[in-house]
Each structure stands twice: as C-alpha cells, then as structure tokens.
Amino acid sequence: MLPKSDPPLLKPKSPDHSDRKSITLYSIQAFVSAHPRSWLLLSILALQIFLLFVIHSLPVSFSFRHFSPPSNLSVQEEAKEERENVCEYGRVYVYDLPAMFNRELSEKCEELNPWHSRCEAISNDGLGRKANGIIGVVPENLAPAWYWTDQFASEIIFHNRILGHRCRTLDPESATAFYLPFYAGLAVGKYLWSDNYTHHDRDFHSEMLLKWVQDQPYWKRSNGWDHFIMLGRISWDFRRSKDEDWGSSFIYMPAMKNITRLLIERNPWDYFDIGVPYPTGFHPRTDSDVIQWQNYVRTRTRKTLFSFAGATRGAIKNDFRGLLLEQCRNESDSCRVVDCGGNRCSNGSSAILETFLDSEFCLQPRGDSFTRRSIFDCMVAGSIPVFFWHRTAYYQYEWFLPGEPGSYSVFIDRKEVINGTSIRGVLERYSREEVRRMREKVIDYIPKFVYAEPKEGLETIKDAFDVALDGVLRRFREHRKMEDRKGNIRKLK
Ligand SMILES: *[C@@H]1O[C@H](CO)[C@@H](O)[C@H](O)[C@H]1NC(C)=O
Ligand SMILES: *[C@@H]1O[C@H](CO)[C@@H](O)[C@H](O)[C@H]1NC(C)=O
Ligand SMILES: *[C@@H]1O[C@H](CO)[C@@H](O)[C@H](O)[C@H]1NC(C)=O
Ligand SMILES: *[C@@H]1O[C@H](CO)[C@@H](O)[C@H](O)[C@H]1NC(C)=O
Ligand SMILES: *[C@@H]1O[C@H](CO)[C@@H](O)[C@H](O)[C@H]1NC(C)=O
Ligand SMILES: *[C@@H]1O[C@H](CO)[C@@H](O)[C@H](O)[C@H]1NC(C)=O
C-alpha cells in the first residue's frame, strides 16, 4: 500500500509531469550551452535510443538471431521461446484425481447404464468401436479413421487429449488453467432412469469431487475461476433443482459457480457453460486425412435435395419432427428419410453417413433437447444444415461455427412450417452458386468440429479440442488481466 499523502520532503505537492519535463529540458539546454559540440553526441545518443526501440518492437526470434552471440544457451532459449509461442494463451495443469472420479468409472463400464454394457462405447480411449462396415462409403485409406463413437463419450476423449497436449504443464505454478478430469456424465448415467436410486446417488460423485477440489491450494487461490471441466452430456442433465426431478444438481452446487464447463449442449444464458461439438465418427490421424476428407465431400455428387434422420416410429403426432417426416415422405423424389429408431444410427450403420453424403441439405429440428449429434454428422459429410430453432446451433457452438449463420446454414421459422410452408420450396430458391458457397463454408469449418485421433492432436490443423482449449485459456488470461488491473487500482487507492 502506498501512503495516503506524500511526506513533505522538498515540496508540499508532488510535481506533475510537465514540471518534470521542463526540468529535464532545462538541464539539457544548460548542458548544451556549456558544451557546444555536444549536439553531435546527443544526436548519436538519440539515434541509439531510437534503434533500441525499433529492435524491441520486432519479433523476438529476429532480434535473437541477429543480435545475440551464437552460443548454445541462446539456441536453447530460442527453442523455449518457440514452444511458448505455440502456447500463446498459456498452459494447462491436469489434476491427478482419485480413481473414483474417472478410471474406476470407465473400468466398471458394464455398470454405467442399467440396460446394457457401455464398454464398447467408451473403448479405444473414448472413440468407440472401429467402424469396419464403412468401407465403400468412405475412401478406403480413410476407413481406419472412422469409429462408431458414442455421443456421450467426450469426457474420456477430452481427458486423453489433454494429457497429450503440448500446452499441458506438470507445474501448477506455471498454469493458466486447471482441468478437472471428472467423468460426471458417466457417473450419473447409471442413476438417471431408475426409481431404485435417489438424488443422493445421482449427486454422490459430484459432491465428493467438489469436496476434494476445495482442499486444493490452487483452488483456494482463485475460487475456481481458472478451473474447467468437460461434462459429456447436455447441461440440463446437471441442473436438477428439486430432489425428485431428472438429473444431478452438479452445476447448481455452490462450489461450481466459478468453474467453466464445456458441454455438448449449453445453457445459452450461463456464461460458464460453453458448447463444444458432439463427437462424430471421424477421427483424423493426420492433417492429410482432414484435407483428403474435405476434398472427398466437396466433390460428391449429391442426388438428394434434403434429408431427415431421426427416430420415426417414436415421433409423437403433434411433434414438429413428425411434421418434417411427413413433408419428407410427401416429397420422396427430393427428400430422403433415415430411420434412426432403436439405436440404429449410432451403432454399426453407415446409412446415415451415406444419406448425408448424398444430400445438399439436412433438416435439424430440435429433439428431446435443443441440440443433436446429427448436426455434426451432417456437416462433417459436407451437407448444409437447416435449423428451425436458434438455440440448436447459433447460440451453442460460437467458437466452432462461422459468425454469420446465413453463410453456412438455412434458417426456417418453425411457425412457418407449421403454417404449411414447403421446405422444398424454400431450399429450391437457393441458386447453385449460393449452395456451393454455403457448402464451401461448411467444409472450411470441418476441422473445428472433428476430434483428432492422436493424443497430441494433428500436425498443424487445430481440431475441436484445440479450439476449445485455446478458448478456455484465452478467457482465463483475459479474466486474470482484468483482476490484476482491478487489484492495481485498489492498491493505488
Ligand atoms: C554446443 O553444443 C554442441 C552440441 O550440441 C557441443 O558439441 C558444443 O561443445 C557446445 N558448445 C559449447 C560452447 O557449449
Ligand atoms: C430395481 O430393484 C429391483 C429390486 O431390487 C430389481 O429387481 C430391479 O432390477 C432394479 N432395477 C434396476 C433398473 O436396477
Ligand atoms: C466466485 O468468485 C468470486 C470472485 O470473482 C468470489 O467472490 C466467490 O466467492 C466465488 N464463489 C465461490 C463459490 O467460490
Ligand atoms: C402430404 O400429402 C398429403 C396427401 O397429398 C396431404 O394431405 C398432406 O397435407 C401433406 N403433408 C404435408 C406436411 O405436406
Ligand atoms: C452394437 O453392435 C454390435 C455389433 O453389431 C453388438 O455386438 C452390440 O451389442 C451393439 N450394441 C448396442 C448397444 O446395440
Ligand atoms: C400463418 O398463417 C396465417 C393464415 O394464413 C397467417 O395469418 C399467419 O400470419 C401465418 N403465420 C406465420 C408465422 O407465417
């Protein structure tokens, strides 16, 4: 803390800047008039100061190579510098949690769900079973990059990727962000559907986790502001407000208040919820896998104008999906329906991918919640999504999708569809060139919504995981700067 008033040393008031400047100028003048030739000296000095400024504003590596003596130390420093540039937003520390919060859950995979084992779904580090049946639908050399990935497997996928990430640090002191590899979605999955369990069961792991983390020194330092977690289900599964309702109350627990949550569906009004793409079946191994796939979907002949994939038999009569289904069936020469009833689309069927590869557009109504995995299945196949709710994508995945919705997607107000507007009519009004431009935008963004297979990510292309981590680090860094500024102001007061 600075003293409230200056001690009365030389002057009763501290001098302001103009005072100081005039004092400096006066002494230079006095010096020059005493030593007339010193103008030359001063000019050289000024030139040197100028050069120093220029050099400082140049990129670091440049000044390094040209102005440091070529010793081994500087080479090491240069390498360090380069590594730090890769992690321009900072580094992440991954907590080594007790096994009950992650490993024990995935090991007991046959118990994660009351009806059937989830072992296959979370196998291969969360990517799932290899998609053997896919040859013929995708280029042969890309078939090994396809898996039957479960839509709720992100907790395991993120955990594996973050352990291998180049911006991971083992030193918490140097971390900008702290990751909690807790499989909250897997933990609650077992207890969601059965009356045999109570709200205590659904909250048990979450409560233990928060108890654990609140004892950690780096938690206490920030009240959780620089901590984040991946929750592999939709936000509403963790927002139970009454004991008898659905889901766990994890997000509503007081200690969660400042923790950033990555989710496959966010609550758009909660700053701490961040929507990240659902995992799809494509897990590229290299940059070149991505580029080859982009070329493949770009050059497909698309015979169908639009398609609709969903559970057809379950659709309730008044459900909006039922209406789309009816339109699609009525327009069978331009629309194709894929029946996803009974888990058919997520388990060992390439029908859905084939349909999207063959369609110009795909219909993406809301399902049980606002989002669906199908949005990303559709775009990965280079098909243009048609939305009926803003919350299905525009308010969800802002870090991963183009800012201008009309540049890559079509929005049709659901009320107009209910009123009898023909979807086919709307889509047919787009010119070939407009369709081509939208598809090009979708293809451009494919890297941002696939999860790469290697733990360390792709060579140069940033995938969905990289985008998510960069975004979190950037957010924390900005928050810390703001806090530092506030702290400085407080100190000055
Ligand atoms: C610099 O490193 C090289 C090998 O990396 C070594 O041969 C050389 O002796 C080192 N020079 C100094 C001055 O340390
Ligand atoms: C619920 O408990 C009953 C009786 O213990 C048992 O028969 C039943 O299988 C349980 N249901 C589930 C879904 O675990
Ligand atoms: C969340 O952070 C704020 C400061 O930004 C702090 O006052 C508050 O106590 C924190 N909440 C919890 C539950 O840690
Ligand atoms: C589908 O076609 C039937 C028969 O032509 C018609 O009665 C119905 O209104 C159509 N439904 C839609 C949603 O277009
Ligand atoms: C998925 O398909 C595999 C092989 O066809 C089968 O063994 C497995 O039981 C299926 N799983 C589910 C959840 O239907
Ligand atoms: C639906 O149709 C009715 C009657 O044709 C019209 O009055 C209404 O404005 C329409 N609503 C929308 C949202 O298009």
Delineate the domains of the chain, giving CATH numbers in brackets. 89-279+464-489 (no CATH), 298-448 (3.40.50.2000)
Please name the residue that has the structure tokens 């530092």.
Answer: 484
CB 307 within 8 A of CB 363: yes
pLDDT tens readout for residues 303-314:
999 999 887 666
Contact 95, 180 (CB under 8 A): yes
pLDDT band at 18 (very low <50, low <70, confident <90, very high): very low
Q: What pLDDT digit, counting tens, does each position of 86-102 carry?
A: 788 999 999 999 999 99
Give distance in angstroms: CA of 59 to centre of ligand 5. 55
Structural contact between residues 133 and 55, judged by C-beta atoms closer than 8 angstroms: no
For 152-225, strand residue ranges (E) read: 168-169, 177-180
Ligand 3: list residues with CB < 6 Å.
223-225, 254-255, 257-258
Ligand 6 within 6 A of 419 CB? Answer: yes
How far apart are the CA of 347 and the centre of ligand 5, in A?
6
Q: Is the CB of 318 inside a 6 Å radius of any atom of ligand 6?
A: no
Give distance in angstroms: CA of 114 to centre of ligand 2.
9
The predicted structure's pLDDT at residue 75? 58
Q: Ligand 2 mean position to 196 CA, how many Å?
A: 6
CA of 82 to the centre of ligand 1 (A): 20
Return the best residue to mutate from 118, 347, 349, 350 for the ligand 5 pocket (most ligand atoms within 8 A of CB): 347
Strand intervals (E) in 194-300: 227-234, 260-265, 273-275
List the residue whose alpha carbon is closest to atom 8 of ligand 6.
Answer: 419
Query: Which of the ligands is closest to the CA of residue 325?
Result: 4
Pocket test for ligand 6, best of 388, 417, 419, 422 (most atoms within 8 A of CB): 419
The pocket around ligand 4, CB under 6 angstroms, is made up of 323, 326-327, 330
Query: Mean pLDDT over all residues of the chain?
Result: 85
Confidence of residue 59 (pLDDT cuts 50, 70, 90): very low
Contacts of 307 (CB under 8 A, 6+ apart): 328, 335, 336, 337, 338, 355, 356, 358, 359, 361, 362, 363, 383
The per-residue pLDDT for range 221-265, each reduced to its tens digit, is: 989 999 999 999 999 999 999 888 889 999 999 999 999 999 999
Q: Is 268 in the pocket of ligand 5 (CB under 6 A)?
A: no
User: Of the candidates 363, 382, 391, 365, which has an alpha carbon nearest to the alpha carbon of residue 273?
Assistant: 391
HSE-up (13 A, CA, CB side) for residue 400: 30
CA-to-CA dists, residue 344 to 79, 310, 340, 341, 424, angstroms? 50, 10, 5, 6, 26
DSSP assignment string, 297-349: HHT----EEEEEEE-SSS--TT-HHHHHHHHHHHTTTTEEEEE-GGGTTTSS-
| 193 Cα nearest atom in ligand 2 | 13
Rounded to the nearest angstrom, the gap between the alpha carbon of residue 263 and the centroid of all alpha carbons in its chain is 9
**Which amino acid residue places its CA nearest to atom 5 of ligand 4?**
330
Band (pLDDT 50/70/90 cuts) for residue 434 is very high
Which class for 369: exposed (0-12), middle (13-18), buried (19 or more C-beta within 10 A)?
Answer: middle
Taking the C-alpha atoms of residue 279 and residue 452, their distance in angstroms, rounded to an integer, is: 10
Distance separating alpha carbons of residues 259 and 224, to the nearest angstrom? 5
- Which numbered atom of ligand 5 lies nearest the CA of 116? 13
What pLDDT score does 491 carry? 76
pLDDT at 104 over 50: yes
Residue type, 184: A
Record the pTM: 0.79
Cβ–ligand 2 distance for 115 under 6 Å, the answer no
**Comparing 361 with 68, which gets the higher pLDDT?**
361
Tell whether the model's pLDDT for residue 84 goes beyond 70: no
Q: What percentage of the chain has pLDDT greater than the value 90?
A: 63
Cα-Cα end-to-end distance for the chain: 8
pLDDT, mean of residues 261-289: 97
106 has a pLDDT exceeding 80? yes
Pocket test for ligand 3, best of 178, 256, 257, 482 (most atoms within 8 A of CB): 257
Separation CA 326–CA 317 (nearest Å): 10
Q: Which of 5-14, 138-147, 283-292, 444-453 has the lowest mean pLDDT?
A: 5-14
The answer to whether 385 and 393 are in contact (CB under 8 A) is: yes
Pocket lining: 415 vs ligand 6, CB cutoff 6 Å: yes
Taking residue 11's Cβ as centre, other Cβ atoms within 10 Å add up to 9
Between CA 281 and CA 133 the distance in angstroms is: 12
CA–centroid distance, 223 to ligand 3, in Å, is 5
Mean pLDDT of 454-466: 95
Question: Residues 6 or more apart from 31 whose CB is under 8 A from it?
Answer: 38
pLDDT band at 367 (very low <50, low <70, confident <90, very high): confident
* CA 492 / ligand 3 centre spacing (Å): 23
Report the Cα 313 to chain-centroid distance in Å: 34
